[in-house]
Every structure is written in structure tokens, then in C-alpha cells.
């Protein structure tokens, strides 16, 4: 194998990993951006309502619309995973990611131009679509899992930075804050021509063993990949022997009740810990907390006055 092919392999693998991490980054960005900037978006809702009905929006309607916008992201995220396995098995990982990035384009256009169109329906629909946007050699599974979490963290960090009033968290630029996902989606769509195909997909979906072997050699920089091919074949045989179950069969089978119950309890524990409430409604929570603190100074002053009037016992060195 030539030197160019050996050198090109690691770079192709790095590009493929970078493209996958971009998807995680967009997930983190979208999870953080829907809760900011809250006040500016509430004023946007009110201006639309006044323009349509010639009266200010009621607090109940405003809360309902805002809650719908916040929760519709999770509704889309719940439905998205049901289609991932189907798309990956038929189209391959990269083609599936390209199709998912098309959803990100649509969501970016809907949310980015919602202010120009004076439509909060576009905001809600775009948030639902972006919730749908969710689609590794064995030795790198742990590393890629870590990169996934790193991408989510970086996405949230970017959101919190861009949400500053001096950047995009103001009345004029907040649509750009929502439409910013257009840029990483565009980069993600430009990467596949420079990335290798999935050896697993080529081997089992298209029965192209020679091409899969050639890509494995380039990625690993070695000439002997027979053990990797054998491992992939054994894994495929084990998967073929396992019975495929539907969601209904999984819930009705007593054999799987314990693991299903454990998974449900873990998810319920996360939700009941108020993690999601703080994450999505942090602005309102801190504003109400600040309002309570503003009512506290008289009580604090009285407490300080009482403390100053106490006669503390004199020490031997005073």
C-alpha cells in the first residue's frame, strides 16, 4: 500500500469523526437555544397577537404558547429515533446524516425567518423538526461516545455565549440565533465526499467485501484486516440469530420487564429531579428568584439590627 493511502486514512477517519461530532454539537446547541432569549421571544409573541387580534396576548395564552414551543422539541426527539434504524440500514450512516441535516436546514429556515413572516407557528414547527434531527469501529466506540458528550457540551456553551445581549440575544438578532444551525449543517453536508464509506454497510448491505477491505486498510494503515472482517461477520451472524422484536412485544414479554422498568425509572428520575425544568425554564426561574430576593432586604436589615444589639460574652483578650 502506498504512503499516500496510509496517510490519507487517518485524515479521512478524523473527518468522519468530526462530521459525527457536528451532529452532537447541533443537538447541544438546539437543546440550549430554545430557552433563550425568553423575554425577547415573549414580546415577539405579543406583537404577533396584537397585529392579528388588536389586543395584547393574555398571560395564559402566552404561557401555553411558550410551553408548547419548549415541549415540542422533546416530542420531535421522541419520534426521531423510531426511524433511525430504518434509514441507517437502507441508506447507510452518511446518507442518513445527510438526510437528517436536510431537516436541520428546514428548521433553520423556519425559525430564522419567523420574525420576518410574523409567525410563531413557524417557530413551533421548526422546533419540532429540529427535535427529529437526532442519527463506529469497535475499538473507537468509547472514544466516539466521549466525543458525543463533548459535542453536546460545546453546543450548549456556544448557545450561552451567543445568547448575550451584545451578540445575538437581542430583539434584532435573535432569529439569527435560532437559524445559526444552518452553518454546521452546511459543513456536515460538505464532508461526506472526503470521508470513507462504512465498511460494515458495504460488506453486509451491498455485499462488497473487497471494497470494505480496501477501506479498512486505508483507515487502519495496515495490510492485514482479516481479523476485523471476521469480527464483523461474527457480529452480523449473531444479530441475524437474534429475534427482532416490536415495541409491543418488548413491553408484553415478561423476560424484558426488569430491564425496561430500570430504564423507565432512570428516565423518570432524571425528569423528576427538575433537571429539564431548570434547563428549559432557567430564565423564568432566576427572574422569580430575583423578585423574591428584592422583597427580602427589609427582613435582612431587621435581622442585622437584632444581631448588632446582641451582647456577646467578652473574651479574656478583649
Stated as kind and residue range, the H or E segment containing 239 is: helix 226-241
Kindly compute the dihedral angle of the four CA atoms of residues 90, 96, 98, 102, in this order, to the nearest 10 degrees: 110
Assess contact for 90 and 145: CB atoms under 8 A: no
Under 8 Å between Cβ of 9 and 133: no
Q: Which residue in 261, 243, 242 sits closest to 251, CA to CA?
A: 261
Task: Provide the pLDDT for residue 138.
Answer: 42
| pLDDT value for 47 | 92
**CA proximity to 101, closest of 223, 15, 187:** 187
Measured distance CA(123)–CA(128) in Å, rounded: 9
**Residue 253: what pLDDT?**
80
> Alpha helix (H) ranges present in 36-170?
38-53, 59-79, 81-91, 93-112, 114-117, 120-132, 141-162
Q: Looking up cell 436589615, which residue turns up?
A: 301
Q: How far apart are CA 283 and CA 36, in angstroms?
A: 8
Q: What is the DSSP string of 192-254?
A: GGGSPPPHHHHHHHS--HHHHHHHHHHHHT-S--HHHHHHHHHHHHHHHHSPP--HHHHHH-G
Q: What is the pLDDT of residue 134?
A: 54
pLDDT of residue 42: 84
Give me the tens of pLDDT residue by residue for the chain, a chain 318 residues long.
444 443 455 677 777 778 778 878 888 888 778 776 777 888 899 999 999 999 999 989 988 888 888 888 877 777 766 666 666 667 666 677 777 778 888 888 998 899 899 999 998 898 888 877 654 444 444 456 677 778 888 888 898 888 888 888 888 888 888 888 888 888 888 877 777 777 777 777 777 778 888 877 777 777 777 787 788 777 777 766 767 777 777 778 888 888 888 988 887 887 777 666 776 676 677 777 777 777 655 544 545 455 555 444 444 443
Spatial distance between the Cα atoms of 283 and 262, rounded to a whole number of angstroms: 33
Domains and CATH numbers, the chain: 3-196 (1.20.1250.20)
Amino acid at each position: 500500500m502506498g504512503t499516500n493511502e496510509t496517510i490519507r486514512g487517518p485524515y479521512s477517519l478524523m473527518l468522519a469523526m468530526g462530521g459525527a461530532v457536528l451532529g452532537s454539537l447541533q443537538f447541544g446547541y438546539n437543546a440550549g437555544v430554545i430557552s433563550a432569549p425568553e423575554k425577547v421571544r415573549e414580546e415577539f409573541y405579543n406583537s404577533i397577537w396584537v397585529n392579528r387580534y388588536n389586543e395584547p396576548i393574555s398571560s395564559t395564552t402566552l404561557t401555553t404558547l411558550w410551553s408548547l414551543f419548549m415541549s415540542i422539541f422533546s416530542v420531535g426527539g421522541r419520534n426521531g429515533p423510531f426511524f433511525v434504524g430504518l434509514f441507517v440500514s437502507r441508506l447507510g450512516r452518511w446518507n442518513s446524516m445527510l438526510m437528517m441535516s436536510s431537516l436541520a436546514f428546514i428548521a433553520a429556515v423556519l425559525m430564522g425567518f419567523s420574525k420576518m413572516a410574523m409567525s410563531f407557528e413557524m417557530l413551533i414547527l421548526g422546533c419540532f423538526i429540529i427535535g427529529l434531527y437526532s442519527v463506529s469501529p469497535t475499538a473507537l466506540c468509547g472514544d466516539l461516545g466521549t466525543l458525543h458528550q463533548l459535542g453536546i457540551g460545546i453546543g450548549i456553551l456556544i448557545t450561552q455565549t451567543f445568547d448575550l445581549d451584545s451578540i445575538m440575544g437581542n430583539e434584532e438578532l435573535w432569529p439569527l440565533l435560532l437559524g445559526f444551525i444552518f452553518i454546521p449543517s452546511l459543513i456536515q453536508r460538505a464532508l461526506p465526499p472526503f470521508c470513507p464509506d462504512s465498511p460494515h454497510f458495504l460488506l453486509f448491505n451491498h455485499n462488497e467485501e473487497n471494497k470494505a477491505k480496501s477501506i479498512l486498510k486505508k483507515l487502519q494503515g495496515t495490510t492485514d484486516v482479516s481479523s476485523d472482517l471476521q469480527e464483523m461477520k461474527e457480529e452480523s451472524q449473531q444479530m441475524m440469530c437474534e429475534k427482532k422484536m416490536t415495541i409491543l412485544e418488548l413491553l408484553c414479554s415478561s423476560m424484558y420487564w426488569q430491564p425496561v422498568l430500570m430504564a423507565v425509572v432512570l428516565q423518570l428520575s432524571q425528569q423528576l429531579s427538575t433537571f429539564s425544568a431548570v434547563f428549559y425554564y432557567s430564565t423564568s426561574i432566576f427572574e422569580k428568584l430575583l423578585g423574591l430576593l428584592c422583597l427580602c432586604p427589609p427582613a435582612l436589615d431587621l435581622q442585622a439590627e437584632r444581631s448588632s444589639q446582641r451582647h456577646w460574652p467578652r473574651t479574656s483578650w478583649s
